[in-house]
Amino acid sequence: MATLDLIGLRKSFGETAVLHDIDLSLADGEMLVIVGASGCGKSTLLRMVAGLERPSGGRIVLDGEDIADRDPAARDIAMVFQNYALYPHMNVFNNMAYGLRIRGLSRAEIARRVDEAAGLLGLQPLLGRKPRQLSGGQRQRVAMGRAIVREPKLFLFDEPLSNLDASLRVQMRAEIRRLQRRLGVTSLYVTHDQTEAMTLGDRLLVLHQGRKAQLDTPMAVFAEPADTYVASFIGAPSMNLLPATLAEGGTAVRLKAGPAFPLTDGRCDAPDGTAVTIGVRPEHLAPAAQGLSGQVDLVERLGSESVAHLHLDDGTPLAVKLAGADPVPDRLTVAPMVDQIHIFSADSGKRLAAAAAAPAPLEATGTAV
């Protein structure tokens, strides 16, 4: 087990900067998930920690030692790849044991480690099979087993579940988290999947265009996004973002689409008429007599819930989560839970006011403009 510190880490390819001064600290045994859109630099960051890419600047400190200039084999790091990277001509036992043989461990020690990892992962009946005889989930278990037997200081996961079907992803996600907690190995996990990001990590790092957009616990990132990018990226469907202005001495917001709503978490310290962006998650909107009205374009029936997609009278798109069996009219009027309204700067996109933590049902809200 170990700590990991990234200090001013930068990466450029020619004149194109990919990562900008990333500062990050992982505690001993912590699992941190890195998430972001394609091209944001998350896999590049992971590859630099692994030694597969050389940093353009900054330090990578593992357990108090700077390893930025060390060869990958000398870093005491194990990596689980997206494509499993198994040797097709070797059986499961030899795939898991290969790295240990290269390091010169005794046969007895190799057998002990492989047997222990196979027991953890339920691979003991499969040790004699070749990769082509395994399912996708079994191959991923072998790749994880190969990492576990090394007993490394740090685990790196590079989108390891993206090649699996939905049901296997759920199963393997739970298995990875269970194993990481049981082994207590400090871990970095890269994914583009929001469910993985929310459920796997002790903390969540959102990258945007190579910069740290937000670093916090998954629920804190969801409940109090730092800016409009994080607000729109975390959550499915994403948060609704609506143009508005401050009103009534910063105690209310007036939407471009029409109605005004009070701010229940305190005054926003800016003059009336200041342009802002309002964020409301689809689950924090409910049918109401007054509020935001629009034409329903599509209803997605998801079983226990439905998502109605509509466009407001001014053309702004809006997504609303409803109970799964409820009928949805062609036109829908909804109002937000006023303690779940998020306020962002219209210019910078940065958060101006935090929504309250606990939602409160809303009967009738808003006053027509």
- Average pLDDT along the chain: 88
Per-residue pLDDT, 266: 65
- pLDDT at site 1: 65
CATH architecture under which domain 238-353 falls: Beta Barrel (2.40)
DSSP state of 227: B
Please give the Cα distance from 5 to 18 (Å, whole number).
19
Average pLDDT of span 1-10: 92
| Topology annotation, domain 4-229 | Rossmann fold (3.40.50)
Contact 283, 321 (CB under 8 A): yes
Domain extent listing, the chain: 4-229, 238-353
Task: Tell me if 292 sits within 8 A of 240, measured CB to CB.
Answer: no
62: β partners? 4, 65
**Residue 157 in this model has a pLDDT that exceeds 50:** yes
Distance CA 12, CA 248 (A): 48
Please report which confidence band the pLDDT of residue 369 belongs to, taking 50, 70 and 90 as the band edges.
very low
Cis peptide before 237 (omega within 30 of 0): yes
Nearest to 149 by CA among 97, 83, 200: 97
Q: 360 pLDDT exceeds 90?
A: no
pLDDT at 175: 86
pLDDT digits (tens, 9 = 90+) for 163-222: 788 888 888 888 888 888 888 999 999 998 888 899 999 999 999 999 999 999 999 999
Mean pLDDT of 269-293: 89
Distance CA 268, CA 252 (A): 8
What integer pLDDT is reported at residue 171 of this predicted model?
Answer: 84
Answer yes or no: is pLDDT of 250 > 90. no
* Residue 303: per-residue pLDDT: 85
**What is the Cβ-side half-sphere exposure of residue 346, based on CA atoms within 13 angstroms?**
15
**Is the predicted pLDDT of residue 236 greater than 90, yes or no?**
no
pLDDT of 65 above 50: yes
**Residue 165: predicted pLDDT:** 82
Checking if the pLDDT of 366 tops 50, the result is: no
